[in-house]
Amino acid sequence: MNNWSDDDAFWEAMEPALCAPGRLALAEGDVAAMLSGLDLSPGRAVLDVGCGPGAHAVAFAARGHRVTGVDRSRRLLDRARSAARTRGVDVEWVEADMRRFRRPASYHLICSLYASFGYFDDPGNRTVLENVRASLAPGGVVLLDVIGRETVVRAGLEARSAEVEGVCYRESRQVVDDGQALVSDWTVVREGRRQDFRVRQRLYSAPELRDLLQSTGFAEVRLFGALDGKSPYDEAAKRLVAVASAAPGAARIHRSAP
């Protein structure tokens, strides 16, 4: 059976929401925040895994980095190519499953943003991290931005709805498997046509994510509550961000980090 993320109909239905101007505009601030917390010199090789419409990849390229964006959705990559042309930057776009994309020792920074990690079962998620670990250049750093189990518990599970470009979205959520996964039931109505999708993502607690990264060969795993690598992962955090290096001493984070 295919995973929910293999369903092209889902990504087509979600495209207006994922590509909403307000959402894409967040990428500039996100990239600035990441670079403020990481010691990444200009011209370094950056990989965005699950890049979607490419806003973050384009923002990295605009700052002089050599960027690869990987996603399995051809539709979203077409959006990404258009965005890069509009911005006048060069980005390598690769249509591939993150469970299969691997370029040994190629990237100084690999990021996975906006909960694009955790789509699969535990062996599949581990495979993604093994690919990421293998793809890091010496001294490389990985940044994972995931759904923290603690943040879901604090935020609650009320149903949410929105309308974007005439498309109506409604999401209801539940935590299952003793807190191991978040299941979201999406209803999308567009031009009178209703589509229903079920999305399942792995929920990691902070200790679980640290242990998983360490068990796949990462060192110096540090956990934060924001992309800047400065805010602690505490009761005020809205996201769980892990920064890990490929070898001891490889990741240089500002001293204000916990």
Indicate if the pLDDT at residue 247 is higher than 60.
Answer: no
Q: Tell whether 133 and 169 lie within a shared domain.
A: no
| 254 pLDDT tier (thresholds 50, 70, 90) | very low
Distance CA 169, CA 172 (A): 10
CATH code where residue 10 lies: 3.40.50.150
- Percent of the chain topping pLDDT 70: 95
Q: Tell whether 12 and 132 lie within a shared domain.
A: yes
Q: Tell whether 122 and 237 lie within a shared domain.
A: yes
Picking from 110, 111, 129, the residue whose alpha carbon sits closest to that of residue 119 is 129
pLDDT value for 156: 78
**191 lies in which domain range?**
152-199
Q: Tell whether 59 and 109 lie within a shared domain.
A: yes
Is 159 within a domain? yes
Average pLDDT for the chain: 93
Is 257 within a domain? no
Number of domains in the chain: 2
Q: What is the pLDDT of residues 72-111, one digit of tens each?
A: 999 999 999 999 999 999 999 999 999 999 999 999 999 9
Picking from 4, 1, 2, the residue whose alpha carbon sits closest to that of residue 181 is 4
SS3 state of residue 220 = strand
pLDDT value for 154: 77
Q: Tell whether 159 and 34 lie within a shared domain.
A: no
Q: Tell whether 9 and 83 lie within a shared domain.
A: yes
Q: What is the CA radius of gyration of the chain?
A: 18
Q: Tell whether 70 and 143 lie within a shared domain.
A: yes
Going by DSSP bridges, is the β-strand pair 107-112/136-146 parallel, antiparallel, or unpaired?
Answer: parallel
Q: What is the pLDDT of residues 231-245, one digit of tens each?
A: 999 988 999 999 999
Indicate if the pLDDT at residue 256 is higher than 50.
Answer: no
pLDDT value for 1: 63
Span 128-147, average pLDDT:
96
